[in-house]
Amino acid sequence: MEILQLAGSLGVGAFLGLIIFLMYRSDRKSSESRLTKLLQEDQKSREENTKALSELTSLLNRMNGRIA
């Protein structure tokens, strides 16, 4: 009921603009949340890969008789 009163006082264009803005804002927040999670997972993966690569390099250097 309050939405109808708001629509009547603002006009149809302003009401539709408000609805579109609220939908955009909601979508934007969820997109940012997904992006943040994706970036955290990517950082963790990079750290694990860097560690594995360092260990592999050390192992290969030891196998070849070189000092790292």
Position 28 in a domain? yes
Q: How many domains does the chain have?
A: 1
Spatial neighbors of 62 by CB under 8 A, at least 6 apart, are: 68
Whether 8 maps to a domain, the answer reads yes
Residue (of 50, 48, 47) closest to 58 by Cα position: 50
Distance CA 64, CA 61 (A): 5
Identify whether 7 is part of a domain.
yes
Split at pLDDT 50, 70, 90, the class of 66 is low
pLDDT at residue 3 greater than cutoff 80: no
Segments forming the whole domain that contains residue 46: 2-63
Say if 57 falls within a structural domain. yes
In a domain, 35, yes or no: yes
* Domain presence at residue 68: no
Report whether pLDDT(67) > 70.
no
In tens, the pLDDT along 10-58 reads 787 887 888 898 899 999 999 999 999 999 999 999 999 999 999 999 9
Is residue 58 assigned to a domain? yes
Q: What is the pLDDT of residue 37?
A: 94
